[in-house]
Amino acid sequence: MFVRTENFRTFTKLYPIITTIAAIHLVLWTSVQFTDFFRDLTIGNNYLIWNGEYWRLITPIFLHVSLTHLLFNTLSLVLFGPGLERMLGRGKFILIYLLGGILANIATLLLAPVLYSHLGASGAIFALFGVYLYMVFFRPDLISNANSQIILIILGISLVMTFFTHNVNIYAHLFGFLAGTILAPFFLGKGNKTFNRSLSQIFPNIRRTTHQTSKGQSIIWVVLIALVLIGIISRFV
């Protein structure tokens, strides 16, 4: 589910929504490098939102403050988004992505200081993690044990980094994740409760010999480690 074997052309055809979002990330990041006007017009700012500039609940989802910020969120989207875009379909995928990001920004509006400013796709991406968490425990027919392990581990790492990484919108991360988890059954269905998966079923044997680890899983772990390193580096940029 998380191993990308497609070339660039095939990827763009199979996952047009993710490709479009990634392209928007790049174009907007490039734009704000040359002028502050566009960033000032679109950045999330609680004071301005309270004064009627409601588009700022949406536009920050596509903005990034630095190259490492851009790379971390876009790579996370490219790694974890395709499985959901294919499973949900284009319409449902973009809907839950935007809803997760908007609800995360609304939580930021309600809980953060009035003069608080923010930008980034993290709230929307954490909403995708919330959908995966629902799948892990309540729709095991949609995700394997191996992929469930990856989701839980990367989610744990991401939540830890939320509290220890510099200049992170904690409200967006937590409430984006919560929004995705709550919205998931409406998009995926409730499934069969008798087939719910427990944590002990996901990690039946923590010790795993080297020859049991597939090449695809090794690639996934390399990418995950790279994402963590990018996140740590972004703390100092």
Q: Give the Cα separation of 213 and 219 in Å (integer).
A: 10
User: pLDDT digits over 177-193, tens only?
Assistant: 999 999 999 999 887 76
Angle, vertex CA 103, rays to CA 101 and CA 105, nearest 5 = 70
CATH number of 8-234: 1.20.1540.10
From the list 25, 158, 173, 234, the catalytic residue is 173
Domain boundaries of the chain, sorted by first residue:
8-234
User: pLDDT digits over 221-234, tens only?
Assistant: 666 666 666 655 55
User: Is there a catalytic annotation at residue 214?
Assistant: no
From the list 76, 117, 122, 158, the catalytic residue is 122
Distances (CA, A) of 50 to 102, 155, 212, 220: 15, 32, 55, 42
**pLDDT grade for 210, boundaries at 50, 70 and 90:** very low
Q: Give the Cα separation of 7 and 64 in Å (integer).
A: 26
User: pLDDT digits over 76-111, tens only?
Assistant: 999 999 999 999 999 999 999 999 999 999 999 999
pTM score: 0.84
Q: Is the dihedral of CA 214, 216, 220, 225 positive or negative?
A: positive
Collapsing DSSP states into helix, strand and coil, what is residue 44? Answer: strand
Within a 13 Å sphere around the CA of 63, how many CA atoms are in the beta-carbon half?
22
User: Is there a catalytic annotation at residue 66?
Assistant: no
